[in-house]
Chains A and B, each alone.
Chain A
Amino acid sequence: MADYDIPQELRYTREDEWVRIEGERVVLGVTDYAQQQLGDIVFVELPAVGATVERGEPFGVVESVKAVADLFGPVSGRVVEVNATLAEQPELVNQDCYGDGWMLVLEPDDPAEIEDLLVAGDYRQHVKDRAD
């Protein structure tokens, strides 16, 4: 399996989003595996502040030179911050997917939903299962 960065402290979806818990809020983006699979990202479409995101439902789109991928809500909640820099610099998702390439900050409707997300070890296994 190729080398993918999967930080221990984050939680993950099976659709390759990551979530970082910051107090009452969560920050989210796409994983290193996702950005490597997509290749050069040229366009990111995100909801506006105030919009709602539903768990398991598409909330945005990432387009690379060759492919289009939907973004899926890891938890349900309200969008309180959007990384506007990605409109001008979508390549940040390739360069720093867990840092400057973050996408949204959400206020979860039900913080218990976070517990349903994968931990790093399980996500690593999920990546491996698809690579084999």
Chain B
Amino acid sequence: MSDLRRTPLFEAHQQLGGRLVPFAGFELPVSYGSILEEHAAVRERAGLFDVSHMGQLHLDGPGATAAVEWLMSCPVATLRPGRVRYGCLCNEAGGVVDDVTVYRLADEHWFLCVNASNIEKDYRWIVRHTPAGVEVRDRSAETALLALQGPASAAVLAACSNVDLGALPRFAFTHAKLGASEALVSRTGYTGSDGFELYCDAADALALWQTLCLAGAAHGLAPAGLGARDTLRLEAALPLYGHELDDETSPLEARLDRFVKLGGAPFLGGEAIARRRQAGHRKLLAGFELTERGVARAGCVLAQSGAEVGVVTSGAPSPTLQKSIGLGYVPPALAEPGTRLDVMVRGRALAAQVVRTPFVRGPVRVARKGDTRG
């Protein structure tokens, strides 16, 4: 495992008994004991994740806003400093280079939080499609990212910060001091529950982690690993790059219509995305649940009447629903809720049914006007 990178919190994970596994080139905890307990902590109280493996790419200087508007599938010029939006970087063929959150720090200063496995690809992509006057910097290595997620998250922050972060709207961010650590605090997340993402200097990561653990103790906060992160995001039907999204798949096939500004400002890949929609998509992402015992996993074939119709992109037992759920691509006619499908698991057909997503609607606060994602 010597070629794997470590986050600034590696020793903390070891001390907590984290089961460390390779993920996107990093050595990260899949869980500290029980994925189910960590999942429940996030849904019911609060969980703390180290997601420092994720990348931060900054665009700074005159023309940065126009560059980000051209690069992103979602509208960004209307975003005020202090606001975040989710969207995709798309290629000329309408496929997804990456799905990212984009932060407006100042008029002409932005950063994109990108998937760890795509940092280098995204950096090259952005540099290639950004005018010379805009400085593009990869600040991933010097930036740590903690995700504090769950209904008690605001209370945890209230116990250790100098700013009323509970008043922060969803998809907004601000700077705050937590204990002795400075952080950029964003009301965003990847779990379907309320929560915050906290960016800080890598050198401050351990102090911030400890501050949050200490403040969270009274609220039942638990450190949580990649395993719970995956079951939580799947219940919320949030896509994972490399599973639901890739360089070939259109964001519309992945049902990300809300984050694609067709008819709005032109953007890289927009014409191809519109053309592909016009021609009719051959596949659409659908959520399904198993109606019998078993677990559908990524890679399982989806079938109907014995004929292969698609493939599972993500699948897991849902701890909240106590049944197996999954996402997969099927022909548009089979993506309607109520459609019966079979999931092929070890040569057996397990009965499944297409359902509406998200599978679990988190008790997230009512989205405010202007939010792009509830």
Contact = CB atoms under 8 A, between A and B. Distances in A.
Q: Which of A63, A66, A68, A87 counts the most chain B CB atoms within 10 A?
A: A66
Contacts of B34: 39-40
Interface centre among B227, B231, B319 (most CB of A within 10 A): B227
Nearest to A70: B346
Interface in A36-90: 39-40, 42-43, 45, 61, 63-66, 68, 87
B235 to A, nearest CB: 12
B346 A40 contact: no
Contacts of A68: 295, 297
Nearest to B295: A63
Contacts of A61: 346
A40 B293 contact: no
Most interface-central of A40, A65, A87 (chain B CB within 10 A): A65
Interface in B197-255: 227, 230-231
Contact of B319 (A43, A63, A65, A87): A65
Tell me whether chain B's interface is mostly helix, strand or loop, or mixed.
mixed
B36 A40 contact: yes
B317 A42 contact: yes
A63 B35 CA distance: 13
Contact of A65 (B19, B35, B293, B346): B35
A70 to B, nearest CB: 10
Nearest to A39: B35
A61 B294 CA distance: 10
**Interface size range of chain A in the complex:** 10 to 19
B30 interface: yes
Contacts of A43: 293-295, 317
B362 to A, nearest CB: 19
B119 interface: no
Nearest to B348: A45
A40 B295 CA distance: 13
A40 B35 contact: yes
Contacts of B152: none
Contact of A87 (B30, B230, B293, B346): B293
A87 to B, nearest CB: 7
Contact of B31 (A39, A45, A63): A39
Nearest to B230: A66
B317 A65 contact: yes
A65 B297 contact: no
A66 B294 CA distance: 13
Interface string B147-167: 000000000000000000000
A16 B316 CA distance: 24
Most buried by A among B30, B297, B317: B317
Given A40-B34, A43-B317, A65-B227, 17 more contacts: A39-B34, A39-B35, A39-B227, A40-B35, A42-B317, A43-B293, A43-B295, A61-B346, A63-B294, A63-B317, A65-B35, A65-B231, A65-B316, A65-B319, A66-B227, A68-B295, A68-B297
Interface of A: 39-40, 42-43, 45, 61, 63-66, 68, 87
26 contacts: A39-B19, A39-B31, A39-B35, A40-B34, A40-B35, A40-B36, A42-B295, A42-B317, A43-B294, A43-B295, A45-B294, A61-B346, A63-B294, A63-B295, A63-B317, A65-B35, A65-B36, A65-B227, A65-B316, A65-B319, A66-B30, A66-B31, A66-B35, A66-B227, A66-B316, A68-B297
